[in-house]
Chains A and B, each alone.
Chain A
Amino acid sequence: MVARSGVSRKRWLAACVTLALGAAIYLLAVDLFQVKGLKLIVLEKQNSALLEKIDYINEKTKLQAERLEELQMRDNTVYRPIFGMDEIPADVRNAGYSFAGRYDSLQMFANADFLTQTLRRQDIIEKKTAIQSRSFDDIEKIATHLEDMSRSIPTLFPVCPAGVNITSQFGYRLHPIFQSVFFHSGTDIAGRKGMPVYAAADGVVREVKSSNAGYGNEVDIDHGFGYSTRYAHLNSSTVEPGQKVSRGDQVGTMGSSGRATGVHLHYEVLYKRQQVNPRNFFDSKIDPKTYMTQVRPAEKTSK
């Protein structure tokens, strides 16, 4: 009995020591050597695999951004200049990406920065692609009417070249009234009062002004593709705002209304709202007979 209880006590002691030692080894491993839990090891493996997958998306988005950049470049530097459309400014292309608070829920994660960056990049490429898509909508609309473009460029000399003189060119000139150097924003064509003035290209009449000051009676035509023309100091106008005109349709008659020293047409060509030299567009040496076949004086103009 004593012997048995002695043996039993020994075994009991051995079991206790084993357990205590085991627990000690366990605690030592966890606390001192930072041995990770089985579950944590598995989760970390899964986590790095997932992050790798997401990083692949990240790389893909970067490539997409490069592709998009090439399209944007062509849009801004090739198509828009040709069609006289304003470039889409970089701040518009990149605007509206504040996304404030959108990624706050990610802050709880260890990889918050990486995830925020990935999601943000994705959001941005989606927005930019949408903007590019809308831009192409606009360009396609114009590109399908490409044949209209050559008819919309102000290439017709606005009056019959017989009996007229170009008296002042575009550029810095001496002012006939003030006798000081000023910038002359158009071409002055002197002729007789009542001479017909013709539209230089197809377009829509944007404005018809009557005035005794400045440009006097004036007709503005919007030709599209960035171009517009202005016919000033008219004696009278034969068109109304909103009216569609073709190249060669009469728009008015020559006069000296407004601030003018004599009967002449002040003719301006504007590209993107900026005056440009009209002489680069028209041919003033055209044979008057040929010229008359290209125009339609007011009585023949169908309204």
Chain B
Amino acid sequence: MSRAVRNIGRVAALLGASLATALLIYLAVSLVVTTGAEKALEEENAYLREHYESLLERTALVDDVLDGLQVRDENIYHNIFDIYPPSAEALLGEDQEGSLERYYSYGEQELVEDSAAALETLEALSAQVDRQIKAITTRMDSEEFSKNNFPSVIPLSNFTIAQTGATVGRKINPFFKSMSVHGGIDLMAPYGTEVTATADGKVVEVLRQGSGMGNMVIIDHGDGLRTVYAHLSDIYVAINQKVARGKVIGKVGSSGASFTNALHYEVRKNGRPVDPVNYFFGSLSPALYSEMLLVANTTGQSLD
């Protein structure tokens, strides 16, 4: 019995010693022998280390150059327009980048407190948005909106953001290169593209002329809202004619003092021009709306 125990002990000792030996061999081989894979990796690491340093320097340099270019861009823009270029954040009231940076220095306690406060604000805001949406849907269901008399779409089909020109505001007149007030938005489109009424209404003005706004149609939608379509190459409606949303009223052209083929589109509320981009919600997703708003406001030169 005791002999068996002694034998088990011996075998265990032998196995332990063998394991230790294996470990010793492993360590010795690791230290002495360098395999091909290790050699390749060693070379790669050396290369990476060297290039990481140079890439870091090059990236920093590009950053510096870009900073310089941005300052130059702002100066050129300021030189021309007397204002600094609008940014997406300024237009949409968003703090898009770098907003998380301040959290890096926060401790856990601060993070929790800050998040709780933010959550409270968000809950209050979402309740408010909820009320507003309910009010909007109630109004939408009312008779007033059962008609398509609100100009909420883009007057061109297959419209892309790239076709956006300058919107309402002080813009550079392309002919005289001087600042002048632009009363609508330029929607660029090829000659002959169909122009559609943006809402139900009645044609109150049809002008055919070679100067100014060129061939032009004005539609009255009621509630003090009118839309203007100018520089048309052709007009298909007559004065006092009733039109429905989507009715083709003319074709894009460059009649009158227009720099190139484009539709000059205006929305007038009680006689005063408003930014049509804010009325395009029937055609645009929120993301496209932001993009169009930025392009339309950044474009410094109008086309008429």
Contact = CB atoms under 8 A, between A and B. Distances in A.
Given A47-B44, A153-B177, A279 B35 contact: no
B160 interface: no
Contact of B40 (A38, A51, A108): A108
Nearest to A154: B175
B176 A155 contact: yes
The interface residues of chain A, by DSSP majority, are classed as helix
Contact of B62 (A50, A64, A74): A64
A22 B22 contact: yes
Interface stretch (B151-159, B272-280, B282-290, B295-303): B295-303
A140 B76 contact: yes
Interface in B237-268: 256-259
B14 A14 contact: yes
A125 B45 CA distance: 25
Given A40-B37, A78-B77, A109-B47, A64 B66 contact: yes
Nearest to A152: B177
Given A18-B14, A133-B69, A54 B48 contact: yes
Nearest to B37: A40
A43 B34 CA distance: 12
Nearest to B21: A22
Interface stretch (B52-60, B124-132, B140-148, B190-198): B52-60
Interface stretch (B23-31, B99-107, B113-121): B23-31
Q: Interface range on chain A: under 10, 10 to 19, 20 to 34, or 35 or more? A: 35 or more
B226 to A, nearest CB: 26
19 contacts: A14-B14, A18-B14, A18-B17, A18-B18, A21-B14, A29-B22, A37-B38, A46-B45, A71-B66, A71-B69, A74-B85, A79-B80, A109-B43, A110-B40, A136-B69, A139-B76, A143-B79, A153-B175, A155-B175
Interface of A: 14, 17-19, 21-26, 29-30, 35, 37-40, 43-44, 46-47, 50-51, 53-54, 57, 60-61, 64, 67-68, 71, 74-75, 77-79, 81-82, 108-111, 115, 118-119, 122, 125-126, 129, 132-133, 136, 139-140, 143-144, 146, 149-150, 153, 155, 169, 225, 276, 279-281
Given A74-B73, A126-B58, 7 more contacts: A21-B14, A29-B26, A40-B38, A47-B41, A71-B70, A79-B76, A118-B55
